[in-house]
Structure 1
Amino acid sequence: MGLLSQFGHLDIDWNLSPEHAVTMYLEWGNNNWHAEYPPVRSKADYSTYFVVDMWGEKPVVRLVRRNSEAAEELVTLQLPNRLANKLLEEYGDLKCIMEPTKEIKAWLRKELGHD
């Protein structure tokens, strides 16, 4: 059983990018009520999503739970070498936080037991 299996019960937003999360939770009023992600209404509104962190020597994946007050990192995972190397080939030494690729999402779903 993998480390992620303990989070398999969470409602993960697979389409929430770091940019959308900032718009929703940190820049209230910056998005439209008719958008895919309308503004949050209270501190009780949470989202749970994955990000890829490219700031370190090797990319890692973080599971984040966020509301308007804080972002909590639930777990940080090393990517399998094949996925990490593919990211490094494509993005080089770019330092960023980004949405997981389709391949990384497929790996995460498998690790969560959602496949």
Structure 2
Amino acid sequence: MQTQTDLTSLVIDWDMTPEDAVTLYLEWGNNSWYADHKPVTSKNDFSTYFVVNTWTGTPQLTLLRRNSDDCVELASFDLPEDLARDFMEENGGNKGVYAPNEAIKKWLQATHFN
């Protein structure tokens, strides 16, 4: 696990979604050069991004680094109660792995990445 100081030096892809990551790294060639994220060309291509996992019923925010070979959890964060509640309401209380919403991104950027 990295410390908060270590995290500030990372380049975060704030627009990466779990769906985009699967397309890029697990289904090579499934996206075009004209897409928002350029196709993966080697195992040296990677993304660092956040996901919100709601499988336990309480949203857990995780920072991942993924390439075509591996997915590594770099850090995890507990969300403030209001953000967690709003996120679950926004997603209908469904279980899954989601991209963080704008409110969570703003909170992260203000509290951990400035």
Please say whether Structure 1 and Structure 2 have the same fold, judged by a TM-score greater than 0.5. Answer: yes
Q: CA RMSD in A?
A: 1.3
SS state at 2:106 partner: helix
What CA distance in whole angstroms lies between the structure 2 residues aligned with 1:57 and 1:4? 26
SS state at 1:10 partner: coil
Number of residue pairs matched? 112
- 2:80 paired residue number: 80
Contact 1:52–1:61 (Cα < 8 Å) also in 2: yes
What CA distance in whole angstroms lies between the structure 2 residues aligned with 1:16 and 1:90? 19
- 2:96 paired residue number: 96
Instruction: Spell out, residue by residue over 1:17-62, the C-alpha distance to the aligned partner (whole angstroms, 9 max, x if none).
Output: 1111111100001111121112111001111000111111310100
4+ runs deviating over 4 angstroms = none
Identity among equivalent pairs (%): 46
What is the TM-score with the length of structure 1 in the denominator? 0.90
Matches of residues 11-90 of structure 1 in structure 2 within 5 Å? 11-90=11-90
What CA distance in whole angstroms lies between the structure 1 residues aligned with 2:93 and 2:82? 17
Distance change >3 Å, CA 111–CA 34, structure 1 → 2: same
What is the TM-score with the length of structure 2 in the denominator? 0.91
SS state at 1:42 partner: coil
SS state at 2:39 partner: coil
The residue type equivalent to 1:97 in the other structure is V
- 1:7 paired residue number: 7
- 1:113 paired residue number: 113
What CA distance in whole angstroms lies between the structure 1 residues aligned with 2:33 and 2:90? 35
Segments of 5+ residues of structure 2 without an aligned counterpart are none
Contact 1:4–1:111 (Cα < 8 Å) also in 2: no
